[in-house]
Amino acid sequence: MYAYGYQIVQALITDIGPDEHVKWAMNEINAVNVPGTTTKDVMDMVLVTQYFDTMKENGTSSKNSVVFIPYGPGVVHDVAAQICDGLL
């Protein structure tokens, strides 16, 4: 408001009545904003939740046939060694 010749020194807000969608969004933000929690922590939690959902879906159907193999540069040697040990 300074551009219009007004300076706000103090504003006392006693009651806020935002739209329901705004309230929902604010509650979602507050649910994620736990002290000491980073964005990475939240994303890790989402990833773990999706992983367990996938595991549950794979385990509840008798038609599924799934093999989980670890992946990554350091794991390739371990997987190859386990396969060789299993065959020999």
User: With left for phi above 0 and alpha for psi between -120 and 50, is residue 41 left, alpha or beta?
Assistant: alpha
Residues of the chain with pLDDT under 70: 32-33, 70, 76, 79, 88
Q: Which domain holds residue 49?
A: 38-88
pLDDT for residue 63: 78
First to last CA, the chain: 80
Using alpha carbons only, give the angle 15, 17, 18 rounded to the nearest 5 degrees: 135
Is 57 inside any structural domain? yes
Cα angle value 43/29/54 (rounded, 5°): 35
Whole-angstrom Cα distance, residue 66 to residue 55?
10
> Is 51 contained in some domain?
yes
Residue 78 is assigned to a structural domain of this protein: yes
pLDDT at 81: 77
Rounded to two decimals, the pTM is: 0.39
